[in-house]
Amino acid sequence: MKNLASFAICVLLASCGASADKVTVKIDGSSTVFPITEAVAVEFQREHKDVRVTIGVSGTGGGFKKFCVGDTDINDASRMIKDKEIKKAKEHGVGFIEMPIAYDGLSVVINKDNNFVDFLTVEELSKIWKVGSQVRTWKDVRSTWPDVEMKLFGPGVDSGTFDYFTEVINGKPGACRSDFTMSEDDNVLVRGIAGDKNALGFFGYAYYVENRDSLRVVPIDNGAGPITPTMETINKGTYAPLSRPIFIYVSEAESDRTEVKNFVHFYLDHAPELVKAVGYVPLPDSVYVRDRKRFDDKVTGRATTGG
């Protein structure tokens, strides 16, 4: 008994030290935005050794729950703030500055060995994914395709990715058939689709880029001909409607603190290169300039409709 207690105390003492009087920038939110914010935080702390940045991954909604009551300084969000969340923020006197910081191109992917799918139209996607969809085989989607069963994969219903996809494809966030394999971990989806010849699924562009060898991306036709997601088509907005902006929300009250201000400036200055480095698509430069002006002028409320 005594031994164990003294062991525990030793452990505590051993892990003491370092970082006592650092100021902290507290961030939480979407796991989709996490890699970008992490990259910015790492680079930022190289230059500002007296600041500590912490980043949680409670998800966009979970993050807003903390942000809207003033627990965090910045929220990573893979969708825009909802009316309900704005109301909550107002109740707690939290003002927010919304800043789009990158694009994510939701990629619809199939197995490498699938050789009959050339492209999909938005209508066909909706036919596959809508609530109560009758699509069971590839033939149900297009009559010239083979009569083999289709296996569907998608992100979990709590993710911003799922909300966005269902909104633009099925017309309402969250409206979707439920008989598909879902996982919060995109790598699980990648493995599932890579291992099943008849699979179809969707997830963020970065995961497609890293797994080009085992997956094939499907060009999407929104009326102007099939477009393949690439850095360029996503950045220019021609890969529609599946390119979506992702955001950071900065608390207005906290934006006066030097470390928060420095961090946001650093974020916007280095976003183009760092966003690309972690596999996402940078916004046009003008958007970062506009972001910065909004931040410096403390323009609160919703920023944009899109990028």
Instruction: Note the residues at the interface with other proteins (CB under 8 A).
Output: 1, 3-5, 7-9, 11-12, 14-20, 24, 26, 28, 31, 34-35, 37-39, 41-42, 45, 52-58, 66, 71, 184-187, 204, 206-207, 209-211, 274, 277-279
Q: How far is the CB of 160 from other proteins (least distance, A)?
A: 15
**What is d(CA 227, CA 237) in angstroms, rounded to the nearest whole number?**
11
Question: What are the Cα distances from residue 67, in Å, to 61, 94, 258?
Answer: 10, 8, 19
Residue labelled with tokens 């970082």? 19
Whole-number minimum distance, CB 188 to other proteins, in Å? 9
Q: In the bound complex, what is the minimum distance in angstroms from residue 161's beta carbon to other proteins?
A: 13
CB nearer to other proteins: give 138 or 208: 208
Which C-beta is closer to other proteins: that of 88 or that of 177? 88
The conformation of residue 82, written as its DSSP 8-state character, comes to P
Least distance between other proteins and beta carbon 77 (Å): 16
Phi, psi of 91 (to 5 degrees): -55, -35
Q: Which CB atom, from 1 or from 224, has the smaller least distance to other proteins?
A: 1
Shortest reach from residue 206's CB to other proteins, in Å: 4
Smaller CB distance to other proteins: residue 17 or 132?
Answer: 17
Strand, coil or helix: 93: coil
Give the contacts of 296 (CB within 8 A, at least 6 positions apart): none
| Closest to 73 measured CA to CA, from 93, 50, 53 | 53
Task: Return the number of the residue (92 or 302) whose C-beta is nearest other proteins.
Answer: 92
Region at 72 (left for phi over 0; alpha for psi -120 to 50; beta for the rest) = beta
Nearest distance, CB of residue 104 and other proteins, angstroms: 11
Q: How far is the CB of 250 from other proteins (least distance, A)?
A: 18
3-state secondary structure of 69: coil
Contact yes or no for 162/186 (Cβ under 8 A) = no
> Taking Cα atoms as reference points, which of 27, 30, 33 lies closest to residue 278?
33
The Cα–Cα gap between 252 and 301 comes to 10
CB closer to other proteins, 126 vs 214: 214
The closest alpha carbon to 56, from 80, 82, 75, 69, belongs to: 75
Residue found under tokens 């800043």 = 99
Backbone angle region of 54, left / alpha / beta, with phi > 0 → left and psi within -120 to 50 → alpha:
beta
Task: Please identify, using beta-carbon distances, which residue of 7 and 116 lies nearer to other proteins.
Answer: 7
Q: Closest separation between CB of residue 30 and other proteins, Å?
A: 11
DSSP-based three-state secondary structure for 34:
helix
Which residue lies nearer to other proteins by CB, 159 or 243? 159
